[in-house]
Amino acid sequence: MITENFISLFEQSIKANWRLPAMTDYDEKRTMTYGDVGKEIARLHLLFERIGLKRGSKVSLTGKNGCHWCIVYIATVTYGCVIVPILQDFNTNDIQHIVNHSESTLLFISDHLWEAVDEDKMSALHAAFSLNDLRCIYRKGDEPIQSLSEMTFADFDKRYPKGFSAANVHFTSVPNSEVVSINYTSGTTGFSKGVMLTGNNLAGNVIFGFKTHLLERGDRALAFLPLAHAYGCAFDFLTSFCNGAHTTYLGKIPAPKVLLKAFAEIRPSAIFTVPLIIEKVYRNQIQPMLNSRTMRVALNIPIIENTVLGTIRRKLTDAFGGAFKEVIIGGAPLNPEVEAFFTRIGFKFTVGYGMTECAPLICYTPHYQFISFSVGKILPGMEVTIDSKDPQTIDGEILVRGEHVMAGYYKNEEATRAVLSEDGWMRTGDVGTVDANGNLFIRGRCKSMLLSASGQNIYPEEIEAKLNNMPFVQESLIIENSHKKLVAFVYPDYAAVDEAQISHAELSIIMENNRKTLNEMVASYEQVIGVQLYPNEFAKTPKKSIKRYLYSNLLK
C-alpha cells in the first residue's frame, strides 16, 4: 500500500511552494502561484459549506483545461468529496447521463456547454457553477443564485481576518482506500463505464512520477491532453502540482502550428503526448525534409549519414522547445515507422502503457533503457501476466494487478466481475507478449482481432499503421467483409491532395497503388482486396483510438 496520502500531497505542496508559479492559462496569460491556488481552494471550501455539500458527495466537472478546472478538482477531493471529470468532447446527452448516473449534486461547467444542457434532466443536481469565472449559474430552490458567490467572499474575509497564509492550509483527512474520483470512459465498445479510482491508485501514479523525476520542483510543463482523461490528469496536473512544477494549460485544440509555437515559448521540461499528435508533428516537420532528393541521397552515404541524422534530431528537439528530458508517448500504439525513425536519430522518447482503470500507468521505461516497439516494463507495485501457454512467443490477453488497479465500475457489478477476478487480476482487453527481461509488447485489442479463414490472428491496427504511412493517407480502418476478406477504408489527407492538385480519379489510382504496396509488406492472410475512400475523419475515443464499433456495418 502506498504510504503517502493522496490528499496530503496537495497540502504539502501548497505549503512548500507557496510563492512559486503553479499554473498558467496560456491564452489569458494568467499565472497563479501555489499560494493563489490555496486561497481559491479555501474560497471553494467555504462555498461548499454554505450550500451544505456533504463528505462523499459527487461533484461533476467539465470544460476546457485551465486553472479553474484544476482548482475545482483539488478543492473537491480535499473537501472529502468525489470528483467526476467529464470530457468536454462528450455530447450533451452523455454529460447529462453521467451527472445523473454518478448522482452528482454539484456541477462545474464551461459556459458554452451549460447553454446546451438541460438542468431539468439532471434530477440530483442542486447547483451549477461556471468554470469560466466560478459564478453560480443554477440553484435548485428559492435562494437567488448570485448571492452565493457574494456571501462566500464575505465569509472568507470573516474567516481569515488577518489574511490567508500557508499556515491556514489544512485539508480534511481522507484514507487512501476511499474512492476519490469516478472517470467515465468512452471506449471502443461504445459503453461508458464509471471507473472508481481510490486515493491509493492516484497517489501511486504521482509518487512514481516523483521517483522517476519526470517533473521536479521548478520544472515547466505544457498541458494539451484533456485533463478529464487519466493520462493528462495524472502527469500534466497531479504529478506536476504535487511536486512544485509549473504547468501552462493550452486550453485549445492542439493543432501542430499552435503546439509548436507554445513549445517554443514554454520550453517544457517533459512532454506527455499521444501518438496522433507526435505523428502529425513528424509528418509536418520531418517527412517533407526526408522526401527531398538531396536528403535521400545524403542518408545513403555512410560517411555523412550520422551528421545528417544529428541535424534532424536537433531540429526535431528544437521543435519541442529544446529543453525536455524526454517525450513520453502513451494512450495508443505509436506508428512503427515513426518509432523506428525516432530510434534511428537518437531522439529522447519512450512509449508507456496504461489505461483509465489503472489511473493510468502500468508500464514505463526511461528513454535510455527503452526497447523499441515495446511499451516498457511493469511498474513497481504492479504485476503482469499473459493469458497464454507461452507468454514470450504466443500472444495472449494481458492481465495486471497491483497498486494502480481500480476499485471497480461505479454501480456496475456485472462489468466489474467481467474484468476483475477475486484475487485482483484485471483483464486489460489488450493482446501481447512479454520478453525474458520483462518488456511488454502489445499486438492489439482482443475485440478488434480478426481470425483469418485459415485460422491465423489478424491485428487490424498493425496493417493500418503501415497503410497510414503511404501517400495521401491521413488515417485508415481495416474491416472484414462477409467472405472474411479485408477491405481498407481510407480518409485521405485532403490538404495534401488539394495542394498537389490531384483529381478524384487520380486519387483512386494512387490508393490502388498503395494497396498493392501494402500487400507486399504483409502476410498472405493479411492481404487487402480493396480500398474505399471515406469522406470524414473516423470518430475516436479520448485516447484517439478509432471507435471501430461505429463502422462494423460499412460493408453490409
Amino acid at 531: V
- Please give the average per-residue pLDDT across 299-307, as a whole number: 82
Beta bridge partners of 400: 384, 426
What does the pLDDT look like over 277-291, one tens digit per residue? 888 888 887 888 887
The H or E element spanning position 476 is: strand 473-480
Angle formed at CA 448 by CA 447 and CA 451, multiple of 5 degrees: 95
Per-residue pLDDT reduced to its tens digit, 222-234:
999 999 999 999 9
**Predicted local confidence at residue 447, as pLDDT:** 81
- Residues in CB range of 198: below 8 A, 6 or more apart: 176, 177, 178, 179, 180, 406, 407
The length of the chain is 556
| Residue 220: alpha-carbon gap to chain centroid | 19
Give the fold, CATH level 3, of 271-323+326-443: Rossmann fold (3.40.50)
Q: Where are the beta strands (DSSP E) in 173-268?
A: 179-185, 193-198, 220-223, 246-249
Domain boundaries, the chain: 6-200, 271-323+326-443, 456-551
Distance between CA atoms of residues 100 and 494, nearest Å? 41
Q: DSSP letters of 297-339?
A: HHTT-HHHHHHHHHHHHHHHHHHTTS--S-EEE-SSPPPHHHH
Q: Which pLDDT value is given to residue 276?
A: 84
The pLDDT value recorded for residue 145 is 60
* CATH number, domain 6-200: 3.40.50.980
pLDDT tens by residue, 13-48: 999 999 999 999 999 999 999 999 999 999 999 999
456-551 has which CATH code? 3.30.300.30
pLDDT tens-place string over residues 503-546:
999 999 999 999 999 999 988 889 999 999 999 999 887 767 78
* pLDDT band per the 50, 70, 90 thresholds, residue 142: low
152 pLDDT band, cuts 50/70/90, is: low
CB neighbour list of residue 360: distance below 8 Å, 6 or more residues apart: 205, 230, 231, 234, 330, 354, 404
**Cα distance between residue 514 and residue 468, in whole Å:** 10
Which of 113-117, 137-141, 320-324, 408-412 is least confident? 137-141
- Please indicate whether the domains covering 271-323+326-443 and 456-551 agree at the CATH topology level: no
Judged on CB neighbours under 10 Å (0-12, 13-18, 19+), 454 is exposed
Quote the pLDDT of residue 412: 93
